[in-house]
Amino acid sequence: MEIPDALRVALSELAEEYPIAALARAASRLSAAYRVDQSSQANQADRGEQTDESSPSAAVGAPLDAAAYALTRLPATFAALVAALDAARLRRPDWRPTTLLDAGAGPGVAAWAARAVWPSLTRATLLERDQRMLALGQRLMRQAPAGCVVSWRQADLITEREPLSGAPFDLCIASYALNELPLAARRPLTLRLWRACGGALALVAPGTPAGFAAIREARVWLIAAGAQIIAPCPHADACPMPTGDWCHFAQRLARSRLHRRLKGGEAPFEDEKYSYVIASREPGEPFAARVIRHPAVHPGRIALDLCAPDGLMRAEITRSDAAWRAARQARWGSALASLPDNARER
């Protein structure tokens, strides 16, 4: 996957304003701060403690840092968001949202991703607390294709209690935001976004144990509020993922030469891991199971780990099985139209 040409141009123009060496140092600082934060969260999760996650953007203290953050993190976040939103599009193929609310917009990447999936969007409202991120997002958005009116508003998702102007919105998104909030703020925000949602609500978080925990918890609240879960889950029962494991997916994205230089790597791609849930006002087209791990491909045999209405399952599919063609096409995160005959409880 690659970012849109207009966004690539906007990021290139941003990069030209700073020395590459300075951007690389800023990117390294941000990456180190993020790794420390993720390690702390993992240790807390291992001890069975609840975690209050801090934002990886919290280390952004200057325009240079904001630029480094956008240049190194925005492409990966875009890729994860497009993958998650596309899963919703496949469940509701005839749905054409026109209005968007992005809560915790950062530099506005969710609006770019949503328009890539649904060109029908004509109005977007973006809420962001940090003025530096807001200004950066406004600048990048100047390169966006015409056709969608974008309104930015500085807002604190924790303290603000005013009604969301413009609601209901067809599509609401909280991208890499819910997991960054204190625990006490997550449920009120989730339900507030659901009330503002007229079509579907997408919650996306890092594909870490702590990120998945935030998504799993929000899923429970949304089901209790009457939401239809259309992705990634093939059911609305209790999540079957056992303690010590977590549901997440990965999206591969191409890395530009500049991206490789800033991140100090030579690989032409990277894999962004993410967890997500899509809640809808209307039921989506049903499917039988979701592939929750990379398929294990062996000569003449493919093993699929699946989440199905009956729980976590594994299917060993051979060339003689009717499901062979579907298994060959399956990828981590794919939805299966039917459950393989030999699927068994894990």
CATH fold label, 5-280: Rossmann fold (3.40.50)
Rg of the Cα atoms in the chain: 20
Residue 46: its pLDDT value, please?
43
The whole-model pTM stands at 0.90
Model confidence pLDDT, tens digit, residues 104-127: 999 999 999 999 999 999 999 999
Residue 212: its pLDDT value, please?
97
Residue 33 · residue 61 · CB < 8 Å: no
Residue 301 · residue 316 · CB < 8 Å: yes
User: Counting Cβ atoms within 10 Å, is residue 266 exposed (0-12), middle (13-18) or buried (19+)?
Assistant: exposed
- The ranges assigned to domains in the chain are 5-280, 289-345
Model confidence pLDDT, tens digit, residues 156-205: 988 876 667 788 999 999 999 998 899 999 999 999 999 999 999 999 99
